[in-house]
Structures are given as C-alpha cells and as structure tokens.
Amino acid sequence: MTPGSQEAPPRVEVVHATPEQEPIVANLLELYAYDFSEFHPILPGPDGRFGYKGLSRYWSETDRLPFLLKANGRLAGVALVKRERGVLGTETVWDVAEFFVLRMFRHQGVGGAAAHEIWRRYPGQWQVRIMESNYNGYRFWERTIAEFAPDHVRAARFEKGGQLWHLITFQVRRSR
C-alpha cells in the first residue's frame, strides 16, 4: 500500500483444517514459534524445528479445532482452539490455544476479522491467555476483544511455571 492510498481490507476466511492439511498447520506453527523466540526463550530441537507437541490431537479429539486463516484466498495464518477448564475456575470455556498471522498480513485487520469469525461460530465463555512478555500480542488481543465483546470482558493476571500471563475472559452470545 502506498502512502495516502485507501486499499480495501483483505477478504478474510477461516477454514477448518483437514487432517491432510496438518503439515501446513505444522509449518505455520514453526513460523509462530520462531516469532515467539523473540520474547520467550525457546530453541529449536536438534533437527532445526521447534515442533508442536500434541498437534495431531486437533484432528482426533472433538474438543480441539484447527483453523487455517486466509486473506484474499492466500494462506495468512493459523489458529488452534480448544475446550477446557478455564484458568480461573472449573467452568469449561473456549480457549484460543494458538493464533498466528503472517507478518505480511498484520496491521490489515486479518487477525481481528479471523478471531471475530471464530468467536461468532462458537458462542459461549472464552479465554485468551497472553504471556506478559508478549506486549504486542496483549495489545492486539485487548483491542480485538474490546471491539467484539466490549460489555462482557474481564482481565486478570496469573503465574504458571514461573511465567507471568495476562488472561482475558469474555462471553460471546449466539446472536452476533
């Protein structure tokens, strides 16, 4: 986009990833882990890959959902969602386990549009966990959630394994 131009925002699609697309999801998660290594001390294994333990469970367990994100028909990212007990209680919630948008599609509304689409499809109680060291991620989620569910948001902090986290919980109603 050139300065002063007004290009239309990309057309965003959220596609349920099939078992045959697991290698594509795995490849995108490699890029995600690489980005994370900027603010969280993770290293690739001896094979040069970060890997994602338990990825195949997203196709074998009904409480896990893998998505590919597309912008104008092109692969733009990945999202992993799961149902689990919430961090702050015993209630079962939807959890944004992983969410990644390729750098070339950031700051164009792709991530926000994809998150909103996922939430519309799966109403109920949601939680998003963000490492405290992930400042940009926190700003993205705070803004994206506030745009979608401004009246039903709670924020908290918690510690897990010596790591500080932000937690944002919110309710999504069926009529969105």
Domain for residue 125, yes or no? yes
Q: What is the pLDDT of residue 175?
A: 65
pLDDT tens for 20-34 read 999 999 999 999 999
Most distant CA pair in the chain, distance: 50
Asked if the model's pLDDT at residue 5 lies above 60, the reply is: no
Q: Is residue 68 part of a domain?
A: yes
Is 3 domain-assigned? no
Q: What is the pLDDT of residue 37?
A: 83
In the predicted model, is pLDDT for residue 99 greater than 80?
yes
The residue among 138, 135, 132, 136 whose CA lies nearest residue 160 is 132
Annotate 21-56 with DSSP letters as a single string: GHHHHHHHHHHHHHHHTTTS-----TTS----TTTT
- Is 1 a member of any domain? no
* 36-74 residue pLDDT tens: 888 778 888 899 999 999 999 999 999 999 999 999 999
Q: Is residue 4 part of a domain?
A: no
Residue 4 has pLDDT above 60, yes or no: no
Could you tell me where the beta strands, DSSP code E, fall in 5-138?
A: 12-16, 64-71, 74-85, 92-101, 124-131
Confidence of residue 173 (pLDDT cuts 50, 70, 90): confident
CB–CB of 161/40 below 8 Å? Answer: no
Percent of the chain at pLDDT above 90? 70
Return the sign of the alpha-carbon dihedral for residues 125, 121, 100, 65: positive
Range of the domain at 109: 12-172
User: Tell me, what's the pLDDT at 159?
Assistant: 87
Q: What is the DSSP letter of 91?
A: S
Do 81 and 71 form a contact (C-beta atoms < 8 A)? Answer: no
Q: How many distinct structural domains can be found in the chain?
A: 1
Is residue 6 assigned to a domain? no
Dist CA 82 CA 97 (whole Å): 7
| pLDDT given at position 122 | 96
Residue 34 counted as domain residue = yes
State the CATH number of the domain containing residue 132: 3.40.630.30
As a 3-state breakdown, the chain gives helix, strand, coil percent values, each rounded to 5, of 30, 35, 35
Strand bridging mode 12-16 / 163-172: unpaired
Among 4-8, 83-87, 116-120, the minimum mean pLDDT is found in: 4-8
pLDDT at 3 over 80: no
Question: What are the tens digits of pLDDT across the range 116-160?
Answer: 999 999 999 999 999 998 999 999 999 999 999 877 788 888 888
Residue 5 inside a domain? The answer is no
